[in-house]
Structure 1
């Protein structure tokens, strides 16, 4: 992310994607906040493009992220007419995989999650690629159990996370362990979706009050086994920085952006 010290990433949990970003986008009542959200999560009909072309359209604060990109997807014309969404691109198509899941906030269901894989060619002879996507939809109100979920989730916008499956550990999989709360569950008890290993760790209420839900320092040590003991701190001599003065300059640039979020996060 431009203007932020090395190690900072846009790193939202599933709960934050649905309860904060998607909710505010659907409500569309806070223009200043929507302008900030646009910088990390723009509106884009991703099906107009092939997945490898999507990073260039990411928010200006996340465009350089090599691992994952976030977008709001507007409702398609076919859905307005009661049809199914069209997930074809010029070279292939997105295919749903596994069982749909739920997104939880304080033990209440706030959204639905579906995982998709991109195939080149046309069904049924498409060739599976390493490109994947998680799509999230919000529901009206909250539900404490699957039986209470409304028949239709909100479709004006959904939010998606596009990423490329690799054999290396991505920052999205390196969340500090802390207090683990399963944020997505499958519809059928005992069924584990293909993408279930992407568990998001919900933040403690106190941390929510102290910082906006968009940046976190990811562990970069190859010996850390994916867990950074000092994930809440920044070393004075970070990668590529030779002096404290360099870090102070970067932190000064960061302060130009972070306070804008703090007024909306309470």
Structure 2
């Protein structure tokens, strides 16, 4: 892929992640383009800090977030819960799953948030690594309860930094130089 222009960021909304990327992957549309952006990877075979080197071209080098399609595990196929353990720790769900809504308010998916713990459960040490796991809703579900598509999920892995995203950071007024403050005052 050719180099991106300065300032370019891959920062999709939850609706875009579910409606475009996840549904396209599930339906086999635009596979080569989408796999360059979000690769298919069993992320549980890696430690979270190894994942940035496994990400797609548009996220490679992003210091804050990485996206992956994760195939359903064999134990899920047989009706069991997925194993979210790695060699050095485990991913633990936090809170209850929540619905992802479209701009029109329609339920389009489910999001589950997780935190990575180093060590063995239940005494692992909480880290700053987080993950949002998205599953799509079957597009035409006949019942009032949405039904999930389980064959694949999309995961956003990120590190909690304690600060705003790099491109959202702005200098505070107290950090501005006197001349900058004077210019800002004249503009207002």
TM norm structure 1:
0.61
Query: For residues 39-50 of structure 1, what are the structure 2 equivalents within 5 Å?
Result: 39-50=36-47
Describe the superposition over 1:153-172 as per-residue Cα deviations: whole angstroms up to 9, x where unpaired: 1011100100001111125x
- The structure with more radius of gyration: 2
Gaps of 5+ in 1: 172-217, 225-266
When residues 114 and 142 of structure 1 are mapped into structure 2, their CA distance, relative to the original with a 3 A threshold, is: farther
When residues 51 and 41 of structure 1 are mapped into structure 2, their CA distance, relative to the original with a 3 A threshold, is: same
**1 CA distance for matches of 2:78 and 2:10?**
35
Structure 1 stretches of 4+ moved >3 Å: 218-224
Compute the displacement of 1:17 (Å).
0.3
Confirm or deny that 1:122 pairs with 2:120: yes
Q: Look up the match of 1:148.
A: 144
Q: Give the root-mean-square deviation of aligned CA atoms.
A: 1.9
**2 CA distance for matches of 1:13 and 1:127?**
30
**2 CA distance for matches of 1:54 and 1:6?**
24
Confirm or deny that 1:51 pairs with 2:48: yes
Describe the superposition over 1:5-58 as per-residue Cα deviations: whole angstroms up to 9, x where unpaired: 221111100000000100000011x3xx21111111000000001000000000
The alignment partner of 1:8 has SS state of coil
Residue-pair matches, total? 171
The alignment partner of 2:138 has SS state of strand
**2 CA distance for matches of 1:8 and 1:27?**
28
Q: Look up the match of 2:131.
A: 133
Q: Look up the match of 1:239.
A: none
When residues 170 and 220 of structure 1 are mapped into structure 2, their CA distance, relative to the original with a 3 A threshold, is: closer
The alignment partner of 1:9 has SS state of coil
> Which of 156, 159, 169 is matched with 1:161 structurally?
156
Confirm or deny that 1:101 pairs with 2:98: yes
- Does structure 2 conserve the Cα–Cα contact (< 8 Å) formed by 1:108 and 1:142? no
Compute the displacement of 1:219 (Å).
4.2
Structure with more contact order per residue of length (Cα contacts < 8 Å, sep ≥ 6) = 1
**2 CA distance for matches of 1:5 and 1:223?**
27
Q: Look up the match of 1:244.
A: none
Q: Look up the match of 1:3.
A: 3
Describe the superposition over 1:80-129 as per-residue Cα deviations: whole angstroms up to 9, x where unpaired: 11111000000000000011101111110010000000000011111000
Compute the displacement of 1:149 (Å).
2.5
**2 CA distance for matches of 1:66 and 1:18?**
23
**2 CA distance for matches of 1:154 and 1:80?**
12
**2 CA distance for matches of 1:220 and 1:4?**
21
